Structure 1
Amino acid sequence: MLRELSPLKQWALMSPSLCALETSDRNYTWAELNDLVAKVANHLNQQGLEAGDVLTSVGKNSIEQIIIFLACLELGVTCALTMPQTRAELDNKLDTLYLSKSKQRVWINVECQELSAISNIRYGETVEPQEVSAYQPDNLASIVFTSGSTGTPKAVTHTSRQHLASASGLLEPFSYQQGDTWLLSLPMYHVSGLAIVYRWLYSGAIIKVGTGDLATDILGVSHASLVATQLKRLLDDKVCLSLSHVLLGGSHVPLALSQQAAKQGIETWLGYGMTEAASTVTAKRIDEHYSAGKVLPNRELKLEGQRIYIGGETLASGYYRKGKLTPLVENGWFDSKDLGEWVSDELKIIGRADNQFISGGENVHCEEIEAALMQVPDISQAIVVPIADAEFGHRPVAVCIFTHALEKCEIEAYLQQRLVKFKWPIAYYSMPETLLQSGIKVSRKSVKEWLASQI
């Protein structure tokens, strides 16, 4: 079988002296990065890692994590990315991946004595870079865990070909090219963060790994993936931005925020996607028409009733468990369990099928209420949870991030023109700081558990 050069090696040959990677300490050209990755790959190989193995990488974004991931691609090793967590949670994931504890290959990139005890792979470099050539675009490249609606972790597994199909499809309408810099602002253990890495590898542009301080990290970059509250804070604080493009996610995006960004020359885009589809499926530049945009190249999407099914070249190879893959598609289509409708040729998301509840005999979608609440001044985020009610079956309760305290009657004054009354939340709670951990979006499951402890 003919070996195909990895994207890293291709750029090292075509653009060796161009900047590839920025950190707070130094920058790397494609040639320098290629040499560093080769040395780390050799070091991993000397520790027994070889093509077909799975390495679990535990930690937050860092230069070492990117290098480890790129080294795994060169070795033909699948990299399973996961966040810092408790030992019990990590053991659960490791049990999903490996046939036995003796087969586990774990690199811990976080200061935690409990987790460090199971780390058996070290980060390091050999003296000289030796040629490593086990990369194939159809090797299993990444595993990202998703709990879906059940809360049970699923190990979603993609090849580089699938990731690159996702990247190329988004970058047809969304410009990102050599000379541009995309901040790795989302964690690689989420598919949205890993998608930034593959857009970088596809385009040959620059990626920046920051320190975790967004106000500092954002300086000098042209592209970023943010949630609406992050962008609003940057604009309101008058941070000196060189941004030209921002891909927004996590919640409803107010048109006023997009207009505020446009005054500084920033294009704001939003999209709809999921882990199984290697991130973004539809996207658009934000305008006055509320939708999730058009289906991107290399993807397919159909509605059966209102149920959204996804197809195309970006779908994962399957769910990984102990060396075997379980397909996630039936007849070529993946059931997203999301509900939507077409508005002209754009997709409008109604909500999750499992976020629908019945109140007084009527179907109600949590996301519809949340979108209305997000238009209320002084509410920057909202999660709606149905609670049992003897008369109506269920009634909605809202947990919100308030920029200023609001009375219930003030909120309802805004909802009058946007929602019929039976959809109005019967109570409002302020979101506790403990739930604001992800940086992408608040876990609906965590909100439900917290709310149950309050009622």
Structure 2
Amino acid sequence: MILKTDPREVNIPLAMNDRCLYVHTGGTTAVPKICIVSHRQMVWNSFDILATGIVGAFRTVLITFPFFHIGGWNTFTPLYHAGITSVLMRDFNPGLVLDLIHEGRVENFGAVEAMLQFLIAHPKFAETDFSRLKGIITAAAPCSKAVMKVFLDKGVPISQTYGMTEAGPSNCGYVARSDSMDELLDNSASIGTSMFHCDSKIINQESGAEVEHGEIGVLCLRSSHNFDGYLNDPARTGKVIQEDGWIYTGDLAQQDPDGLLYIRGRADNMFISGGENISPEEIENALMKHPAVAGALCAGIPDPKWGQAPVALVVFHAGMSAAEDELKAFCRDHLADYKVPKQIRPATELPLTGVGKLNRNAVVEVFS
């Protein structure tokens, strides 16, 4: 297409507010929406990523995220502005990624937890030389401490970032204050702080008022890289873009005394059982404390007595297992009785969406 274009027509004047991309959201909680992304959004987002130091002085970065998702563009654009070489993958190939790492051909890459688990499970992983890999950034969904520890033990700095197409694509990131792997491990669950040109606040879901420090509420973001709304959907746009330009993320968050932010779940993932609100993420975190459980995914399914009841899929560590009654008893030590899953089933892997996010709708289908 480029070769066939008249060179006299290549340099087209653009304004910052001109449309750059139409990008679908992940669609994990509803029908995917089409976001209007301007050049202003992508340029300011790139500047914030580079200024914050999330993308360091790397020579080559592997782009693992697809370009039908904002993650691909969000990785590529700041690299382009910084003159950093981008290595593209058509499909995520764990063996090829490990080869690139072993040969020192990439110094950094971003990934969702599922990708990291595929790397860990690959036969080449144990023999791979990680000494020239300078960092890993996780995104799209929270990554477990256990998975991050595997890479920290190999001397690879790894930290979490946070963002969404509507407000970023990147808004927060953990930037280490030292070279200590212990610091990264201690703060592995944190998404860090908001970027230089991004404001954040945590509000009460019902009242809209800011919560007290340390309380859980809905994270709201405001920056120069907000999106321009959903294509042909003013009603849903109006629900997300709130007064004074704040973006309502729908993610439950908490801030610790040091100012670090933590994602605690999705407001729209919560379901009501017997009149009580239940967060599926809380149940998943409890299950993953069991030594045999490598991963867990929970959802609410229709129940004639309680309205909805919690159920869960679990994936066990290699060579380990646990009976359903044992897991339920374990949950009772960590959860209120009404939060203990009514059913727990083993799975070989947790269901994911096309962009690598956990798929709760698939859990509902399994138990239906």
Q: Distance in 1 between matches of 2:202 and 2:292?
A: 35
Q: What are the residue-to-residue correspondences of 1:1-12 with 2, within 5 Å? A: none
Q: Distance in 1 between matches of 2:253 and 2:350?
A: 31
2:129 is matched with which residue? 240
Preserved CA contact (<8 Å) 1:178 1:203: no
**Distance apart, 1:266 and its partner CA:** 1.1
2:95 is matched with which residue? 215
Alignment pair present for 1:288 and 2:186: yes
Q: Distance in 1 between matches of 2:265 and 2:146?
A: 23
TM-score, normalised by the number of residues in structure 1: 0.64
Tell me the secondary structure at the aligned position of residue 308 of structure 1.
strand
Alignment pair present for 1:359 and 2:273: yes
Preserved CA contact (<8 Å) 1:341 1:347: yes
Q: Distance in 1 between matches of 2:58 and 2:301?
A: 51
1:406-439 Cα offsets, whole Å, 9 max, x none, are: 3113434543553333222121234477944525
Write the letter of the residue equivalent to 1:203.
A
Q: Which has the larger radius of gyration?
A: 1
Preserved CA contact (<8 Å) 1:191 1:278: no
Unpaired segments of 5 or more residues in structure 1?
A: 1-39, 47-127
**Distance apart, 1:363 and its partner CA:** 1.9
* Cα distance change on mapping 1:263 and 1:381 into 2, 3 Å: closer
* Cα distance change on mapping 1:147 and 1:233 into 2, 3 Å: closer
Unpaired segments of 5 or more residues in structure 2?
A: 177-183, 205-216
**Distance apart, 1:318 and its partner CA:** 1.5
Q: Distance in 1 between matches of 2:195 and 2:297?
A: 28
**Distance apart, 1:255 and its partner CA:** 2.7
Alignment pair present for 1:298 and 2:197: yes
Higher relative contact order (CA 8 A, sep 6+): 2
Percent identical among aligned pairs is: 24
Tell me the secondary structure at the aligned position of residue 43 of structure 2.
helix
2:112 is matched with which residue? 227
Q: Distance in 1 between matches of 2:28 and 2:144?
A: 27
1:195 is matched with which residue? 74
Write the letter of the residue equivalent to 1:419.
L
Q: Superposition RMSD on alpha carbons, in Å?
A: 3.0
* Cα distance change on mapping 1:229 and 1:153 into 2, 3 Å: closer
**Distance apart, 1:195 and its partner CA:** 0.6
Q: Distance in 1 between matches of 2:287 and 2:277?
A: 18
2:214 is matched with which residue? none
**Distance apart, 1:379 and its partner CA:** 3.4
Preserved CA contact (<8 Å) 1:42 1:130: no
Q: Distance in 2 between matches of 1:215 and 1:433?
A: 19
* Cα distance change on mapping 1:243 and 1:310 into 2, 3 Å: same
**Segment drifting more, 430-439 vs 377-386:** 430-439
Q: Distance in 2 between matches of 1:377 and 1:386?
A: 24
2:338 is matched with which residue? 422
Alignment pair present for 1:337 and 2:250: yes
Select which of 201, 204, 218 maps to 1:307: 218
Write the letter of the residue equivalent to 1:330.
Q
* Cα distance change on mapping 1:249 and 1:149 into 2, 3 Å: closer
- Figure out how many residues of one structure are paired with residues of the other and give that number: 329
2:39 is matched with which residue? 160
**Distance apart, 1:204 and its partner CA:** 1.4
Select which of 139, 143, 159 maps to 1:253: 143
1:110 is matched with which residue? none
Write the letter of the residue equivalent to 2:198.
R
Write the letter of the residue equivalent to 1:309.
C
1:113 is matched with which residue? none
Write the letter of the residue equivalent to 1:193.
G
Preserved CA contact (<8 Å) 1:177 1:205: no
Tell me the secondary structure at the aligned position of residue 68 of structure 2.
coil
